[in-house]
Structure 1
Amino acid sequence: MNRKRPIRARVSDEEYQLLQSLRSRKPAQNPPKQPLSLGDRVSDGVAAVMGSWRFIIIQSVILAFWVILNVVGVIQHWDPYPFILLNLMLSFQAAYAAPIMMMSQNRQATIDQVDAKHDYEVNQKAELEIELLQDKLNWLREEEIVELKTLLIEQQQIILRLETLLVERLQK
């Protein structure tokens, strides 16, 4: 009995080709990492800084300090209430921060898609390998059953011979 035949008969040519290509790849091999461009590194750095509690706390302290100095400023109010200059600076910061963070998120989404594809291929390989193992176990079980049946028939024949010998001796 051909051991590859059961799985080959149950999977499509595409699945079988995928299994063969996945088998040639080492199991722990991860998808290759693309080198980061300067823009990627900058956007990741900005996103990491602006997305941290440290940045939020420092910015909150600076904003509070700005407001307090301009409300109770003894010397000069450089940005009196309603803090038009502060609003302009925060709008300027938001105008640049949002697209930079989006670039970082888009790059991360691309990395996640590559990782998800790799995970899917690994899962497919695992599924097909499990099917192959199940087929091999079934084949071994069938072989064992055939062997046990053969042994059982031989034992029955031996028992019959022994019975006939015993009957012949008792008759003598």
Structure 2
Amino acid sequence: MPPIPFADLAQRLLRKPAHALDAEERRVLDSIESGTIVSRDAADEADARASLGDRLADRVAAVGGSWGFIIAFTIVLLGWMLLNSDVLAHFGAAFDPYPYIFLNLMLSTLAAIQAPVIMMSQNRQASKDRLAASLDYETNLRAELDILRLHEKLDTLVLERLVALEAKIDTLAKQG
């Protein structure tokens, strides 16, 4: 059976002219025409498209949003306060005594830098989700079109068998 031209596939399966197809539909029909698979791993695709800044933002968000970071940061803050309130203050060498102005400046700076980086990571996650949805659509469309094509083949086979049976019945009726 010869391969069906792309434009005919578009019209027969999607009921659209080839020029009206979107990118996902075009990829699916290309894969049907060439006999290749269409499914891809969204995580692999997103990682392949990620820039250095994207990967860095993801890493900062992963570290900054972990229990390890929260616990370590709490220990550092308590250590800073203890060191500047009791230990160094006892020797008159506290470099950031209560109300910890320098500590507040560092925390504000950290928050000012960390918040946009986490937002970049969230934007990247949203982009990954859109990519995953697009790839899922392609896979679902391919499966649906393959099922439709199988139904057409089965319908054709059943029709051919019915025609052959009718011919045999006619032949038997003429003989009898």
TM-score (norm 1): 0.69
The answer on whether the counterparts of 2:13 and 2:145 sit within 8 Å (CA) in structure 1 is no
> Is residue 2:9 matched to residue 1:11?
no
What residue in structure 2 maps to residue 34 of structure 1? Answer: 49
**Residues 37-65 of structure 1: CA distance to partner in whole angstroms, max 9, x if unpaired?**
3x233323222221222211111111122
What residue in structure 1 maps to residue 124 of structure 2? Answer: 107
Q: Deviation at 1:35?
A: 5.5
Counterparts of 1:1-172 in structure 2 under 5 Å? 8=12, 11-13=15-17, 14=20, 18=26, 19-23=28-32, 24=34, 26-28=36-38, 30=40, 31=45, 33-34=48-49, 36-37=51-52, 39-73=53-87, 74-76=90-92, 77-157=94-174, 160=176
Higher relative contact order (CA 8 A, sep 6+): 1
What amino acid sits opposite 1:48 in the alignment? A
- Give distance in 2, aligned partners of 1:22 and 1:51: 41
Q: Deviation at 1:103?
A: 2.0
- Give distance in 2, aligned partners of 1:9 and 1:119: 19
The answer on whether the counterparts of 1:22 and 1:121 sit within 8 Å (CA) in structure 2 is no
How many residues align structurally? 154
**Residues 78-106 of structure 1: CA distance to partner in whole angstroms, max 9, x if unpaired?**
33333332222111101001111222232
Q: Deviation at 1:28?
A: 5.0
The answer on whether the counterparts of 2:61 and 2:118 sit within 8 Å (CA) in structure 1 is yes
In 2 relative to 1, CA 63–25 (structure 1 residues): closer, same or farther, beyond 3 Å? farther
What amino acid sits opposite 1:21 in the alignment? D
Identity of aligned residues (%): 39
